Chains A and B, each alone.
Chain A
């Protein structure tokens, strides 16, 4: 079974803080993705990576950056958290362009 884990289920941060969200997959997948999910807006792609040290912007990359130093790990960074970044963050991985498998999500609240 594919296993995608995320470092925190719930996170509360203050405006202006630097926030790191970590994602690890154990299936040797090339592709990894970060989404945010908001009520009524569905899943929106922030960034994705198709190889180590490679990254591509998704639909809403502003205010975010990513890091992929190892194949199994993909980090999402909020350089200076703002209240409009309060959301559910979902990490996913896939083998090439096949099915994406999701982690449990991190519910981030920025005060």
Chain B
């Protein structure tokens, strides 16, 4: 079965301390990789879609990159308001969409 694994499960950073979140997936035909941000008690909010290895997308302090077997969400100089759970999802060739369990990010002031 196709799987999506996110690491770490939880990450605590100081404000301004850059880091990366990882999303790895089983290689069986990728049609798209999606990053979402989810605040407690709310629905996931769309951030990025990546379609092919080498592609990069940026939005404010966030940058998503994609290789043939994983994606990284780089957070540069994070602020406390970046604290949230970040979800990764992969759509495969058979149109199955699989979500990772998420990385819970906490940014301390």
**Residues of A that sit less than 8 Å from B by CB:** 4, 40-43, 45, 90, 97-105, 107
Main secondary structure of the interface of B (DSSP, over half): strand
User: A10 → chain B, closest Cβ, in Å?
Assistant: 9
Contact with A along B39-71 (1 / 0, CB 8 A): 001111110010000000000000000000000
In the complex, A105→B31 CA distance in Å?
A: 26
B43 in contact with A100 (CB, 8 Å):
no
Count of interface residues, chain B, beta-carbon cutoff 8 Å: 20
**Residues of B that sit less than 8 Å from A by CB:** 31-32, 34, 36, 41-46, 49, 87, 89, 91, 95, 97, 99-102
A100 in contact with B41 (CB, 8 Å):
no
A102 in contact with B97 (CB, 8 Å):
no
Once A41-B101, A42-B100, A42-B101 are accepted as A-B contacts, the answer to whether A102 and B44 lie under 8 Å apart by CB is yes
Once A90-B43, A90-B44, A105-B43 are accepted as A-B contacts, the answer to whether A97 and B101 lie under 8 Å apart by CB is no
